[in-house]
A and B are shown apart, each in its own frame.
Chain A
Amino acid sequence: MNYDLWENITAVEISTVIVEEIVDEMFIPWEAYQGIYYLSRSSLAQSNIDLSLRSHYWQLRRQLELTYCLLLIDPSSQLYNRTLVKEIKGDLPVLTRQDSEWSTLATRLPPPLPSSRHQTMSAVNKLIGDRSFLNTLQQLHQRKIALDRRDRIMTSSSIPNDITNSTYAQTSLQLDGKIINRYCQAILNRSDRNLLLQLHEQSTTAGEHQWRGMIRFMLSLVK
């Protein structure tokens, strides 16, 4: 059983968002995978995505490739492939850099859909069944949703000081005692600024209590 529950938890971060609509988020691994897999320079160039965001999307694709390569050379991973270790280690310096040179390398990720009659879905299914890969995929998917949201705001929003659908206030309570507040610039000029700040203050107090309750519950289960 895992007793190092606190490992990697350095802060409690509470975000408050006003959203247009609250819908249930669904994470379907295959859909998330293909959404990132098909991001390419040409597809981004043809899309309507705001120019300033394209490189961020492009990074998601690089991170997906990098995650897979790191698992291929990890002997403790189920995806480990001994024959590829030397080759991948040669590519890693390029893959870990944020410039675009990595795109000259051939992708090792299996295509989401079999491209020929002889290929099957088993490679993709094995990949999205791997827990480490799935964790990263989920995080990248979350980041992509945030980027999609941001893109929608940038292309459609004509209302000044609109804060809908993006975090307008965030408080980070760090374990070393530091408290960091971040606010979206747009709230400063709004007439309901004080109410928004009050709402975030409420969210923060409630959020912290709720998180503590959750931790106490988990500790009571595993002791």
Chain B
Amino acid sequence: MKSDRNLSSCIRIEEDRVSRQLSIPSRVYFDLDLDTINKIEQIRNQRGSLRLSPQQLTNLRYYGLINCAFVHDFDDLEIDKSQSALTFSSNYFPANQGLSTTVVRSKIDFAGQISQEIQQDLWQDSQLSSRVIQAHHWLTTEILKQLPLENKSRISFVFWGLRYLYAIALFMIIWYFLPFGFFSKIIINGIGFYLLKISIQDLIDRQITKFVLYQLIFGWLSNRTHKRQLGFKLLSLLIPS
């Protein structure tokens, strides 16, 4: 798979400073010129993919998170569909002048309303417009393809392994220490496993997920890229691999 690390430098995440310590990503721009478009076309022709640095991916995920989740308080963390939308805009820099204009914008709404806007002057130049638009869509699609959290970490084997050890220990305790018959022990073990499964899923996983999401949006994980990275890492560990 071919990719070009330099290419991702055309992705610019604009941030709004909301307090002295905290700035939140508010807009994503692609700065395109002919050179960048040529590179994109080359990678597309070779069916390559866009390579993002871990920091860039974190900040793009953070942009997604901030613009999607709507949080009331810790107990009621929910996604507000009508307020959730991501916007990606492309600026084009003509070769002979430094001034750029926004020429394409995609607004993707969680509720399924997608709007693609093309600026009139770009449309007049039919050859250039088709190249710019394709580059814009390719970048947007590549980014969105890479946003979902995946559990690739080896630590998670340990993490999930510990849970199985916990389950086996419970099984042995019930089997050896309870003074019941064979069938009663099987039934009690079945109930025990079921309760353990529910408690891990409901109480532990959901509470940790909620806690990390809350810290990412409001708390101590929100204000630096490396802390945000840690937050997403923790969330991905909770996904069964």
- Given known contacts A202-B137, A220-B149, is B106 in contact with A210 (CB within 8 Å)? yes
**Cβ contacts A4-22/B at 8 Å (1 or 0 each):** 0100111111111111111
**Cβ contacts B56-83/A at 8 Å (1 or 0 each):** 0000010011001110000001111111
Contacts of A203 in B (CB 8 A): 114, 116, 137
* Contact A218 B114, beta carbon cutoff 8 Å: no
| B:81-113 near A, CB below 8 Å | 81-84, 86, 89, 101-106, 108, 110-113
Select B86's contact among A209, A212, A214, beta carbons within 8 Å. Answer: A214
Q: Determine the interface band of chain B, counting residues with CB < 8 A from chain A.
A: 35 or more
Q: Which of B40-48, B139-147, B186-194 contacts A (4 or more CB under 8 A)?
A: B139-147
Contacts of B140 in A (CB 8 A): 206, 210
How distant is the Cα of A22 from the Cα of B80 in the complex, in angstroms?
Answer: 26
* Contact B115 A214, beta carbon cutoff 8 Å: no
- Given known contacts A22-B119, A210-B106, is B149 in contact with A14 (CB within 8 Å)? no
Contacts of A210 in B (CB 8 A): 106, 108, 114, 137, 140-141, 144
* Contact B210 A1, beta carbon cutoff 8 Å: yes
Select B144's contact among A14, A131, A217, A219, beta carbons within 8 Å. Answer: A217
Smallest CB-CB A-B distances: 7 pairs: A213-B144, A2-B78, A206-B137, A207-B114, A203-B116, A217-B147, A22-B102
B positions within 8 Å CB-CB of A: 27, 61, 64-65, 68-70, 77-84, 86, 89, 101-106, 108, 110-120, 123, 126, 130, 133-134, 137, 140-141, 143-145, 147-150, 205-206, 209-210, 213, 235-236, 238-239
What are 16 sample pairs from A and B whose C-beta atoms fall under 8 A apart?
Answer: A1-B206, A12-B114, A13-B113, A22-B119, A24-B27, A139-B82, A202-B137, A206-B116, A210-B141, A212-B144, A217-B149, A218-B79, A221-B149, A222-B79, A222-B213, A223-B238
